[in-house]
Amino acid sequence: MGLFSRKTKVQKPGAETELGITRKYKLAPGRTFVVEESPPQISFDAFVNIVSTTAEGSKKPVGLMVSRQHPDLIKQKYGLETTPILWLATKSGDDVIAPTNLGILTHMLIKFVEENPSGVVLLDGLEYLVSNNDFNKVLRVIDQVNDHIILSKSVLIIPVDPRAFTQKELALLERNVEKIIGSWRAR
């Protein structure tokens, strides 16, 4: 069975509880955003803000998070109750994806955005994926998922630590996406 458990399925996403806060991040639908930051505080804040609020004239979007951080820690820190969180880890189990299994990761991300138009995806742990795979393979995953993000009018947020990549890798990563550096406010 290897490092991937056949039990890994994305739980049915639901809308998060309204937190009584206003939407402070207005991200254009159908776009991928690479956020250069370390640690990924702004990316997580934007994701939680978007899935916990309703934009004017629309319904609250559902989200999917993929992270190197353990789901229990994320749920506790950010108060997420219904958002599926997949853990990038070498341990097998429910809601775990092995970092070397890019095919399953790609399939799950594409399936989510196809089933949840206008959804929001946070892909945290890009450095971990690259350290376990060839950079070009990871880039192909992002490009492939980005095509589906565009068509479904969803949003993909990818925090990256620019210190972990060469200038060439950053340029390739950012060529078809919106780049955000450091302190970020609503766009």
SS3 for 73-139 is HHHHHHCCCCCCEEEECCCCCCCEECCCCHHHHHHHHHHHHHHCCCCEEEECCHHHHHHHCCHHHHH
Over residues 109-129, the pLDDT tens digits come to 999 999 999 999 999 999 999
- CA-nearest of 133, 130, 124, 123 to 170 is 130
pLDDT of residue 75: 94
Domain boundaries, the chain: 34-181
Q: According to the CATH classification, is domain 34-181 in 3.10.180.10?
A: no
pTM score, whole prediction: 0.85
| Strand-pair partners of 123 | 66
